Amino acid sequence: MRVNWNNIKLGFLGMVIIGLYGFADYRSDQKTIDDISIKFLGDNNLYLTEASVNKLLIQNYGTIKNRAKEQLVLNTIEEVLRSNDMVKNAQVYLTVNGELISKIVQRKPIGRVEGVSKFYLDDLGERMPLSKHHSARVPIITGKITGKTLEDAYVILNYINEDDFLRKNVIGIHIEEEGKYQLKFRLENFVVNLGGVENLDEKFKNFMAFYAKAAKDKSLEKYAVVSLEFSNQVVCTKI
């Protein structure tokens, strides 16, 4: 019987390669974490500090630096970071140089609720706790706070944030009751009765036309209330 030396050589070569890969993986797993890098992505990085993240990791894992790579489960670390109330998303990975890198996206508040409970409303419409590191300059939400009225406030805030003028000038939303929302402006004495959240495009289009004319006439200071509650019109109450 003839021996097929080519097959034997290929089999032996395959075993050598598998052994080398296994050895490389073993050596890689035995390497330790040489450094930790925490990177905050985006421009909304005011509510959580690097020290807070390090503290969170230490509380859950102890000291990470100089630990073997095989002792760390990256998916679990990501879950721990995402569990922080200020974190929107987190990605963790290891470099070939033994550096543990955490990329974190912080949550973005768009409104601040001032009531029995104080908290932010974030850009997903969810409750977000206040931060001890920074106070966001966002419209203040007051009045009758319920699940439904917060949903409506979120709709209003999203609309406001899409318009440069409104984003810079609206400083508050007061909830009189469900379907009755009032806006407060930074530089004006009057309040704007918005009514409900239906037909916002039409309501704000009418308001901007009124505002432009009143500003041109220098009569803005004469009004106490500007109502957008009625279809296709602006009803003003003078001081």
pLDDT in tens, 126-174: 999 999 889 999 999 999 999 999 999 999 999 999 999 999 999 999 9
74 and 117 assigned to the same domain: no
Domain boundary among 64, 88, 106: 106
| Whether 100 and 123 share a structural domain | no
Asked if residue 126 and residue 47 are part of one domain, the reply reads no
Of 106, 121, 155, the residue that ends a domain is 106
CA 33 to chain centre: 30
Average pLDDT across the chain, whole number: 86
Tell me the C-alpha distance between 112 and 58, whole Å: 31
Same domain for 85 and 130? no
Please state, for a pLDDT cut of 90, what percent of the chain lies above it.
54
Residue 6 predicted with pLDDT over 60: no
Over residues 49-62, the pLDDT tens digits come to 988 888 888 888 77
Q: What is the DSSP string of 214-238?
A: HHHHT-GGGEEEEE--STT--EEEE
This prediction has a pTM of 0.79
| CA end-to-end distance (rounded Å), the chain | 112
Distance CA 128, CA 175 (A): 19
Q: Are residue 185 and residue 81 in the same domain, yes or no?
A: no
CA distance 121 to 87: 14
Please indicate, yes or no, whether residues 89 and 115 belong to a single structural domain of this protein.
Answer: no
Tell me if 8 is assigned to some domain. no
> How far apart (Å, rounded) are the C-alpha atoms in residues 97 and 171?
49
- Which residues, at least 6 apart from 45, have a Cβ–Cβ distance to it below 8 Å? 106
Looking at the structure, tell me whether residues 87 and 67 fall in a common domain: yes
Please tell me whether residues 36 and 92 are part of one structural domain: yes
Pair 128, 86 in one domain: no
Q: What's the CA gap between 126 and 129, in Å, rounded?
A: 10
